[in-house]
Structure 1
Amino acid sequence: MRATGARSTAAPLIKFSLFALVTITATALLAATIVNVSLAEKHTYRAVFSDVTGLEEGDDIRVAGVRVGEVEGIRIKDRTLAEVSFTVAAERPLLTSTQAVVRYRNLVGQRYIALTEGVGTDTRLRPGGTIPLSRTQPALDLNALLNGFKPLFAALSPQDVNQLATEIIKTLQGEGGTVNSLLAHTASLTTTLAGRDKLIGSVIDNLNTVLATLDKRGARFSGLLKQLRRVISGLSADRKPIGTSLVSIGNLTAATSGLLEDARPALKDDIAGLTDLTGTLNRNEKTVEGVLKRLPNKLNELTGTASYGSWFNFYLCDFDGRIVLPKTKQVLTPEMHVARARCGG
């Protein structure tokens, strides 16, 4: 029973151990591949450059585009030079005529050192040896190069700019892109510009007209800019009150929205009643017109009753009446008429 239990426990343990060993080995190989770790023998060399801007420790050392080592360290030498120490696989020995060039790896600005064969003897450079300044070249000044192409890049799409810039750099560094490809893109650019010659000329002419007008009205334009600056300065000084006002306007808008929402049913009924009213007025247009014509005279006569003060004066000018009694004839009252000027008589 004990032997059987031991065997049943040992089998899973052996399987787990084999699984862990395989997993650790695969992980180690993957990590070594990612960080480019090589277990082969390496030799260390040095190279003196006038400028290694952008070069960092761990950057590639390449021969014919193939990675053969990496940069180990960078230090200042003689105050104006940079000495780079790097490793190269022992199976790739360097010669005393070997040249070192700092090149762009991509447009992001990453760099690497390219080792090329130079003219001279085939004597091997001993490990720890130094490539002198006379056989090194600094990186191409990408900013100065691309700034010169700014007018051209302005007429291209971003993808064309990236492709053209990459080929320019590769061509000037002597690798990858060919001069034919560079010239093809340049020809395409010039063809595009030539096809829009009239449009470009029209834009330039209009721009000249605008500039001439601004030049003639320079004093007014300067005054406008000064006034604009004052307005902006005033707004900047009053930014807090303006901000508070905007908040208050927001609150007012919310309150008004609520008021209109509450009054909407009543307004709807009022609008419906107004529609009926306008229809009635339209049907009785002549009557309304006659009332409006007589109304000023009537109002003048009515206002005359209050011409002596804050009261109304009334005068009895004419009086007559009719009285109807049950079971009797109609009884007429004596008529009375005052013949005075105020009564029109």
Structure 2
Amino acid sequence: MNGRSIVAPLVKFLIFVLITVLATGLLVLTIANRDLRASESYTARFTDVTNLNEGDEVRISGVKVGQVESIEVVDRRLAEVRFNVSDRRLPGSVTATIKYRNLVGQRYIALEQGAGESGGFLAPGAEIPLERTKPALDLTVLLGGFKPLFQALSPEDVNKLSYEIIQVLQGEGGTVESLLAHTASLTSTIASRDQVIGQVIDNLNGVLDTVNARDQQLSELIGQLQQVVSGLSADRDSIGSAITAMDGLTNSTAGLLTEARPGLQQDIAGLGELSKNLNDHEQLTERVLQNMPGKLETIGRTASHGSWFNFYSCKMSGTVGIGDLNLPLPLMPVTQPRCQR
């Protein structure tokens, strides 16, 4: 009785585990975009594979038949894309085109029957040559021409119109009716703003008239700028050397200031004390400055004959002492005219 009660829950548990494992494996294969069917690998060369990534889809008539395996650069300027195709053989004249999958920028490879006779089938591992491949449509060039028109539309209308333009130009649009409808709506919107557009054109005309009236000055300015740029280009080596030398000078000056900063601080402090002393003895300082010219003139006249001072003895006297008797002796009387001034 106990054995039968254990077997039933155990069988249910095993069935649950098996179903869970199968569902998890299916989910993993779906997320990883893996195909378990037998497939053959081929290569194709493109001039540009921007935004094409490994794992992107390979389609025939809009149906997924494979995926991109690897992307490499060959011959320094070409891209070699390796992809696989499941359960089908490719014609010998097959062509490969990279197309936009959506406006986010995702791509896929579209395989199509080439012109002329198919010439049998493409061998597994064979290469689609460059002349039978086409890169993705350059949206930068295409949408750049519509930029002034897109500025008059809402973001939602821009997305719709852009997507339909891409679909039509890639040959995937059933009709151009929707594209024409959006274009008509666009032109109606622009027509309703003709006053604003006219004002912009008038402002541009005013700017162009001003520029046209000063064309000579503008030409001279452009010529002078060209001369300046040419001169700078010719002296680029000297300018580079000067910049390098300035860098060295800056470093040396910084080092000098670092070493001299303590001494400068002391000198500045000493100057502060000197100015305080001079201010405290203002009258004495003024008297010294007033008498200094005459003193300097006398000293200069004394030392005018060379790097020495000339002294003249105008008078000399002495005293002879004998006991309590002191007798003055005029040894040199004042007779020179210079001593009588």
For residue 74 of structure 1, what is the aligned residue in structure 2?
71
Residue 105 of structure 2 aligns to a residue whose secondary structure is coil
Does 1:94 pair with 2:93?
no
For residue 185 of structure 2, what is the aligned residue in structure 1?
188
1:49 pairs, out of 38, 46, 50, with: 46
Using the TM superposition, give the Cα deviation of residue 109 of structure 1 relative to its aligned residue in structure 2, in angstroms.
1.0
Residue 52 of structure 2 aligns to a residue whose secondary structure is coil
Does 1:158 pair with 2:132?
no
Matches within 5 A, 1:260-339: none
Using the TM superposition, give the Cα deviation of residue 33 of structure 1 relative to its aligned residue in structure 2, in angstroms.
3.0
Residue 167 of structure 1 aligns to a residue whose secondary structure is helix
Change (3 A) 1:77 1:210: closer
Query: Is the Cα contact below 8 Å between 1:99 and 1:136 reproduced in 2?
Result: yes
Q: Distance in 1 between matches of 2:34 and 2:73?
A: 27
The aligned amino acid for 1:151 is: P
Q: Distance in 2 between matches of 1:118 and 1:152?
A: 37
Change (3 A) 1:207 1:80: closer
Q: Distance in 2 between matches of 1:39 and 1:159?
A: 39
Does 1:134 pair with 2:131?
yes
The aligned amino acid for 1:121 is: E
Residue 43 of structure 1 aligns to a residue whose secondary structure is strand
Query: Is the Cα contact below 8 Å between 1:167 and 1:177 reproduced in 2?
Result: no
Query: Is the Cα contact below 8 Å between 1:99 and 1:131 reproduced in 2?
Result: yes
For residue 34 of structure 1, what is the aligned residue in structure 2?
31
2:12 pairs, out of 9, 12, 15, with: 15
Does 1:149 pair with 2:155?
no
For residue 101 of structure 2, what is the aligned residue in structure 1?
105
The aligned amino acid for 2:34 is: V
Q: Distance in 1 between matches of 2:54 and 2:183?
A: 37
For residue 62 of structure 2, what is the aligned residue in structure 1?
65
Query: Is the Cα contact below 8 Å between 2:33 and 2:55 reproduced in 1?
Result: no
The aligned amino acid for 2:85 is: V
Q: Distance in 1 between matches of 2:92 and 2:205?
A: 61
Query: Is the Cα contact below 8 Å between 2:58 and 2:109 reproduced in 1?
Result: yes
Identity %: 60
- Root-mean-square deviation (CA, aligned residues, Å) is 2.4
Does 1:120 pair with 2:154?
no
Query: Is the Cα contact below 8 Å between 1:56 and 1:71 reproduced in 2?
Result: yes
For residue 293 of structure 1, what is the aligned residue in structure 2?
none
Query: Is the Cα contact below 8 Å between 1:99 and 1:115 reproduced in 2?
Result: yes
Matched residue count: 212
**Where does structure 2 lack aligned partners over 5 or more consecutive residues?**
214-341
For residue 316 of structure 1, what is the aligned residue in structure 2?
none
**Where does structure 1 lack aligned partners over 5 or more consecutive residues?**
217-345
The aligned amino acid for 1:61 is: V
Query: Is the Cα contact below 8 Å between 1:95 and 1:124 reproduced in 2?
Result: yes
Using the TM superposition, give the Cα deviation of residue 171 of structure 1 relative to its aligned residue in structure 2, in angstroms.
1.2
Change (3 A) 1:17 1:101: same
For residue 312 of structure 1, what is the aligned residue in structure 2?
none
For residue 225 of structure 1, what is the aligned residue in structure 2?
none
The aligned amino acid for 1:130 is: E
Change (3 A) 1:47 1:9: same
Query: Is the Cα contact below 8 Å between 1:72 and 1:85 reproduced in 2?
Result: yes
For residue 3 of structure 2, what is the aligned residue in structure 1?
6
The aligned amino acid for 1:73 is: S
Change (3 A) 1:210 1:144: closer
Residue 113 of structure 1 aligns to a residue whose secondary structure is strand
Q: Distance in 1 between matches of 2:12 and 2:104?
A: 48
Normalization by structure 1: what TM-score? Answer: 0.57
For residue 281 of structure 1, what is the aligned residue in structure 2?
none
Q: Distance in 1 between matches of 2:94 and 2:19?
A: 43
Q: Distance in 2 between matches of 1:215 and 1:46?
A: 57
For residue 246 of structure 1, what is the aligned residue in structure 2?
none
For residue 221 of structure 2, what is the aligned residue in structure 1?
none
Q: Distance in 1 between matches of 2:91 and 2:212?
A: 67
Q: Distance in 2 between matches of 1:196 and 1:139?
A: 35
1:83 pairs, out of 80, 85, 90, with: 80
Q: Distance in 1 between matches of 2:93 and 2:62?
A: 19
Using the TM superposition, give the Cα deviation of residue 178 of structure 1 relative to its aligned residue in structure 2, in angstroms.
3.2
Query: Is the Cα contact below 8 Å between 1:71 and 1:87 reproduced in 2?
Result: yes
Using the TM superposition, give the Cα deviation of residue 180 of structure 1 relative to its aligned residue in structure 2, in angstroms.
2.7
The aligned amino acid for 1:27 is: T
Query: Is the Cα contact below 8 Å between 1:63 and 1:114 reproduced in 2?
Result: yes
Using the TM superposition, give the Cα deviation of residue 83 of structure 1 relative to its aligned residue in structure 2, in angstroms.
0.8
Deviates further, 95-104 or 16-25: 16-25
Normalization by structure 2: what TM-score? Answer: 0.58
